Amino acid sequence: MYVLFLKELNSFLSSLIGYITIIVFLAVMGLLLWVLPFGFNVLEFGYAGIDGLFVLSPWVFLFLIPAITMKMFAEEKKNGTIELLLTKPLSDISIIMAKFLAGVSLVVFSLLPTVVYIVAIYNLGAPKGNLDLGGIIGSYIGLLFLGGVFVSIGIFASSITNNQIVAFIVSVLLSAFAYIGFDAITSLGIFGNWDLAIKSIGINHHYTSISRGVIDSRDIIYYLSAMAFFLLLTKISLESRNWKK
């Protein structure tokens, strides 16, 4: 699995897609946080805070992560190399995990340079260092878990088709629904006492919770369960090739 993980990671970093993903993410976040007269512009906000990074990043990831994952299995199917890959002395889950960890690694590489923003705001604050570091650390953890869920959804979407565009669209739609869909449903106010339970199924509920700087085991379990669910669906999708024979 480790060799396949390195191969997948190298395929990102040896091609333009990995660097384009990181550059686009940093460019978009840099413009929104420091340049454009947007509601989250740090210099116009009036206080030392980096909330905009954690509010806007999920929306950027919503499109960038599907762009990363759309080829993971779809390209293998289109090129006819999926059977060769699946006949290697690796279990399906090992192959899936290798691709998943490669995708998550790219998310980590995208987030690491944003530490520069934290350092800048730390020094711009009055007094210097006037930052809620607990909330920032919690938000980074939440953002990493959120990225992990999006990656697992993207891998599943890629496993059900040999068309990368279809995989991208399905991944965006599923990720968007998982992120804000349940909030939208509860906003209708038609489920009464069930509203909170339904809302808690959505990613945003747990992302908001962990962003407060309190690492709740319920949030961690939710994220791990969501990732496991979509990776399991991917495994089922890959196994379905045997049912068609």
Determine the pLDDT at residue 47: 64
Condensed to tens digits (0 to 9), the pLDDT of residues 111-143 reads: 999 988 888 888 876 677 677 777 888 889 999
Condensed to tens digits (0 to 9), the pLDDT of residues 14-70 reads: 777 778 888 889 898 888 888 877 777 777 766 667 888 888 899 999 999 999 999
Task: Please give, one letter per residue, the 3-state secondary structure of the chain.
Answer: CHHHHHHHHHHHHCCHHHHHHHHHHHHHHHHHHHHCCCCCCHHHHCCCCCHHHHHHHHHHHHHHHHHHHCCCCHHHHHHCCHHHHHCCCCCHHHHHHHHHHHHHHHHHHHHHHHHHHHHHHHHHCCCCCCCCHHHHHHHHHHHHHHHHHHHHHHHHHHHCCCCHHHHHHHHHHHHHHHHHHHHHHHCCCCCHHHHHHHHCCCHHHHHHHHCCCCCCHHHHHHHHHHHHHHHHHHHHHHHHHHHCC
Determine the pLDDT at residue 245: 47
Higher pLDDT, 230 or 77: 230
At 241, is the pLDDT very low, low, confident or very high (cuts 50, 70, 90)? low
